[in-house]
Structure 1
Amino acid sequence: MYARDNDATAQRWQQLPPGEQVAAASDAFRMLADPTRLRMLWLLCGDEYDVTALAAAVGIARPAVSQHLAKLRLAGLVTTQRDGRRALYRARGGHVRRLLTEAVNAAEHHVTGTPDHD
């Protein structure tokens, strides 16, 4: 436990979250375990993309992008908005951006060997 943790924060970590939340979080992490989906979600945190633009940005075929996007949608990590015949995708919100940022930051510390300062 860190010195700055207050009692309420410390107590939160004493109890397990409900099973359905653990299952949903586990699904989200499973989706992020794929490098292509991680790259796609990174881009979707910054802007809206349609399938064609996202395929060009990550360098894979449109059908593969569509399949990855469907999985990310099912995991609740991206949302869709229609623009005429096009579907525009973006990250679901700030919590997704924070999750992705923390994962990439942790990876940076691991790769570079620099300590993580909490």
Structure 2
Amino acid sequence: MTEFHESGKTNDPAVDLDEETLFLVAQTFKALSDPTRIRILHLLSQGEHAVNDIAEKLNLLQSTVSHQLRFLKNLRLVKSRREGTSIYYSPEDEHVLDVLQQMIHHTRHD
């Protein structure tokens, strides 16, 4: 049974969420609330891509892609590597991609 303390906390780690965790979860869902970022993450789930390749495949301006990738990188949702003059992006963590794929499946499900 879960016990509540005066602080409002419980003795159950499955129930308690610290402020930092709550903030990061909210920021992650904020990242997933933008259609452009969803398109970029979905494309990256299929493999590593350079900025100009993402822009071309998604019919977006390169500056838009760079801006969104910076946002996603700050949240550690994507990572990058440099090869010559190109920067290639790929998912940082499969967990968020799993959530995204589940949501896509959910919305397409009849």
State the TM-score, normalizing by the size of structure 1. 0.76
In 2, the alpha carbon distance for the partners of 1:84 and 1:96 equals 29
Aligned residues: 99
How much identity, in percent, do the aligned residues show?
Answer: 27
1:82 is aligned to 82
**Which amino acid in 1 is paired with 2:106?**
A
Across the aligned residues of Structure 1 and Structure 2, the Cα RMSD in angstroms comes to: 1.5
* Gap runs ≥5 in structure 1: 1-10
Distance 1:19 1:83 in 2: 38
**Residue 67 of structure 1 pairs with residue 58 of structure 2:** no
Matched position secondary structure for 1:80: strand
Task: Show the counterpart of 2:51.
Answer: 51
**Which has the higher Rg, Structure 1 or Structure 2?**
2
> Which one has the bigger helix percentage?
1
TM-score after normalising by structure 2 = 0.82
**Can you list the C-alpha shifts for 1:12-69, whole angstroms capped at 9, x where unaligned?**
65x1322211111111111111111101000111111111000011111100100010
| Kept in 2: contact 1:79–1:89 (CA 8 A) | yes
Moved over 6 A (4+): none
Give the equivalent residue in structure 2 for 1:94: 94
Unaligned runs of 5+ in 2: 1-11
